[in-house]
Amino acid sequence: MMTKKTELDRSAIMRSVKSEDTEPEMAVRRLAHRLGYRFRLHRKSLPGTPDLVFPRLRKVVFVHGCFWHGHKCTRGDRTPKSNRDYWVAKIARNRERDQRNRALLHDQGWDVFIAWECRVKSAQFKDELRAYLATPNDAGKRSN
């Protein structure tokens, strides 16, 4: 049986959640590097501060945690039992912000790829990332 966390316990847990250098992000970095691509990390001058930036290709990769960004998978499609209203609103705000940042990046001529936490270790992910990076950027060719 799970015991209810105290406010201090919950605060410590939330402080330990990282936003950079997470395990899925490190896996995507290693894979991109093995595929022969070089990149910049967390470029703050771009909307949303993408996790990996490929300046020459005008492509970016966001590595999203399924829970935090509301992915429709078993890991992301769940809501905590306590403080439910807060979490539903929080994840909705995250999704809206992500959508806004993707649109801004496209408007600036960047292609965007979302690497979901649940997909990073799948057998197909390597092929998906390779195909994305090898395909010419078409974001800059959109009519405004």
* pLDDT tens-place string over residues 54-105: 999 999 999 999 998 999 998 788 888 888 999 899 999 999 999 999 999 9
* pLDDT tens-place string over residues 2-38: 677 777 776 666 666 666 778 999 999 999 999 999 9
> Domains in the chain, start-ordered, CATH in brackets?
20-135 (3.40.960.10)
Per-residue confidence band for 141, with pLDDT thresholds at 50, 70 and 90? low
Per-residue confidence band for 142, with pLDDT thresholds at 50, 70 and 90? very low
Q: How high is the pLDDT of residue 144?
A: 33
Pairing assessment for the beta strands 111-116 and 59-64 based on DSSP bridges:
parallel
Provide the H-helix boundaries in 1-143: 7-15, 23-34, 84-107, 125-134
Query: From the centroid of its chain, how far is CA 16?
Result: 18
Residue pair 110/138 in contact by the 8 Å Cβ criterion: no
Q: How high is the pLDDT of residue 6?
A: 76
